[in-house]
Amino acid sequence: MGRHRRRRGHARTGLVGASAALTVGAVAVGSGLMPGLSQHLTGERDAELDASGERSSSPFAAEDELEREDPRPTRSAEREAAEESAEPTPTEEAEEPTEEPEPEETTEEPSPTPEETTEEPSPTPTPEPEPEPSDPPAAEEEPSSPEVQAAEAVLGLVNQARGQAGCQPLRLDAGLTNVALAHSRDMAQRGYFDHTDPDGRTPWDRAAAAGVSGMGGENIAMGQPDAQSVVDAWMNSEGHRANILNCDFTTMGLGAHFADGGPWWTQTFGY
């Protein structure tokens, strides 16, 4: 620890150790050193003495040894002791505090700005127009175009004659038309010409079977090529003309079937 010129014996080591500790304490206080520094140096001195075995537990052990060796110290010995005691034990260089490196400033990377996605509005579906309800189908089947045209032509001629007789015009009825058309086709297919079919069913039987009520009368014809010729034939027959000019009837049905050997005509009336 300290710089010593020469050690002469155990007694001088114990004495120097004590005076050095006092001197260092005085220097530490006078120079304004921190109290902990003197304690630290004294602690190191004590530790060194303990390690060398030169420290005694008795405070008077050093003086006894001096008296036994030489009760009268020489001047040179006193001078050397004074010089050694005057030299302060060099203090250990104060440990420079290790400067901790300042933490590096980390530049935070800016978080990526979320891309704004603009959702395009979905097109509003155009509602499809609801289909208009169609007219309910006729009880049996719709007549073909030539048959429809024939029915309308006959209706016009009949209403003209009724107007001359002072009767209200008739209107076409779908139920009566289906009954009339079915009978015209049946006559053509089974080869007969009569109001009563081969099965014995009358016009009222056939109307009731088709669900038609209010049947009032029936006219039939065969071989006339068009509406005008068939109306003329009926108007020239007393019984047929009576049905056409019956002012109590309000509805009419007409079934014309055009085929080889025909056409076949059936006219029905209703109240």
Under 8 Å CB-to-CB from 135, ≥6 apart: which residues?
A: none
pTM beyond 0.75, yes or no? no
The pLDDT of residue 51 is above 60: no
How many C-beta neighbours within 10 Å does residue 6 have?
Answer: 7
**DSSP structural state of residue 236:** T
Strands 251-257 and 215-222: unpaired
Q: Tell which phi-psi region holds residue 164, choosing left (phi > 0), alpha (psi between -120 and 50) or beta.
A: alpha
pLDDT digits 0-9 by tens, 130-180: 766 665 555 565 555 899 999 999 999 999 999 999 999 999 999 999 999
Strands annotated E in the chain? 171-172, 215-222, 251-257, 264-270
DSSP 8-state symbol, 193: -
Residues 74-102 have a mean pLDDT of 54
One DSSP character per residue, 64-86 reads HHHHHH-SS--HHHHHHHHHHHH
Chain-wide mean pLDDT for the chain?
Answer: 71
Q: Give residue 220's pLDDT band: very low, low, confident or very high (50, 70, 90).
A: very high
What token pair was written down for 163?
A: 């107007």
Contact 252, 270 (CB under 8 A): yes
Contact assessment for residue 246 and residue 165, using Cβ atoms and an 8 Å cutoff:
no
Contact (CB, 8 A) for 69 and 12: no
How high is the pLDDT of residue 41? Answer: 31
Cα–Cα distance measured from residue 214 to residue 112, given in angstroms and rounded to the nearest whole number: 88
Domains of the chain: 160-270 (3.40.33.10)
d(CA 165, CA 244): 10
